[in-house]
Amino acid sequence: MPTATAALMQKHREREERTGIYTVGEILDEKFEDSGEFEGLPASNSINLYYLVHWKWFPHSEDSWEPQENLQSSKKALAVWAEKKLSSQKGPKRSKKSASPTRSVSGRRALPDFDAVEESIARRAATNNRDGDELGEAAAEPDFARIAPRVTTPPRTRTIATSPFASLFGRFINVTPTSSTEVPRAASRAITPVPQPRYHRLQYDQSEPVLPEWTVEDYLGYIPLTLVAVILVLGVINHCAHNL
C-alpha cells in the first residue's frame, strides 16, 4: 500500500510540474511585506501578503511562500486558514509545523478548490439548463475539477424545398429551378429590402394647361383635310340626287 501511494503521488507531481498548476493542500502561515523584493519575487505595492503553502502531492520540504494573487482560486484553503486564525486568537497560540521552509517555489498557480468549482457549476446550471450534461461531467471529476470548454451549438438551418411543378414550369420559360439550399436562421431573419417600383406616376403641374394652345399654323394644317371631306360629301349627295 505505501508503494502504491508513493507511486500515485509521484504521478500527480509529474503532471503538475508539467502543467504548472498545483493543488493546494493547506495554508500553514502568512506574512506581510511592506515593500521591496521578497525571496526573488518582484517588488509590487499591491502585493504585500504572502502565504506559506503546503502543496498536496509534495512533501513539506517543498513548502513555499506564495503571494496572495497566486491563491485567488483556492477559496476553500483560504477559508480553512481564516477559521484556523480565528480559533487560534481565541485560544493559546500554537507554533506552526514548518515556519521556515527550506526552499521557496515562486510562480506556482494553484488549482481551484473543488467546492468553489462545484458552486460555480451549480450557478451556471441554474441559468442555463441546456448545458446540464456538460456541467454534470465537470462536477463528477475528482479533486482537479477541470471544467471542459463550453461547446458552441451550431446555428440551426432551414431547408427551402423546391416544388416539382416549379421545375416543370421552368422548362417552358427557360428558367433553371433553384435546388434546395440551407439558409442559416440568422440569414432568414434578415430584413429584405423593399423593391423600388419600375414605373413612376407622372406628376402634372395644375397651374399650367395639360393641352397646348392651338396656333394659326395648326388650323391651316387642317384646311386641306376639311376640303377633301366637303368634296366627298357633296359628291355623295350629287350621286344620290341623280339616282332619285
Quickly list H helices, the chain. Answer: 2-19, 75-90, 114-127, 132-140, 164-172, 185-188, 216-221, 223-243
Q: Give 68 or 194, the one with higher predicted confidence.
A: 68
pLDDT computed for residue 55 by the predictor:
92
Beta bridge partners of 52: 29, 65
**How is domain 2-111 classified at the architecture level of CATH?**
Beta Barrel (2.40)
Domain ranges of the chain: 2-111, 158-185
**12 three-class SS:** helix
Give, in order, the Cα–Cα distances in Å from 80 to each of 29, 73, 85. Answer: 12, 14, 9
Q: What is the share, in percent, of the chain residues with pLDDT greater than 70?
A: 43
| Residue 197 φ/ψ, nearest 5 degrees | -65, 145
CA 192 to chain centroid, in Å, comes to 25
pLDDT at 5 over 80: yes
Q: Which amino acid is at 26?
A: E
pLDDT in tens, 75-127: 899 999 999 999 988 765 555 554 444 444 455 655 555 555 556 555 655 55
pLDDT computed for residue 46 by the predictor:
54
The helices-and-strands tally (H runs, E runs) of the chain is: 8, 7
pTM over 0.75: no
Q: What is the mean pLDDT of residues 194-201?
A: 58
Q: Give 145 or 210, the one with higher predicted confidence.
A: 210
Beta bridge partners of 160: 181
Angle at the Cα of 237 (from 233 to 241), degrees rounded to 5? 170
pLDDT computed for residue 57 by the predictor:
87
Of 222, 156, 214, which is closest to residue 185 (Cα–Cα)? 156
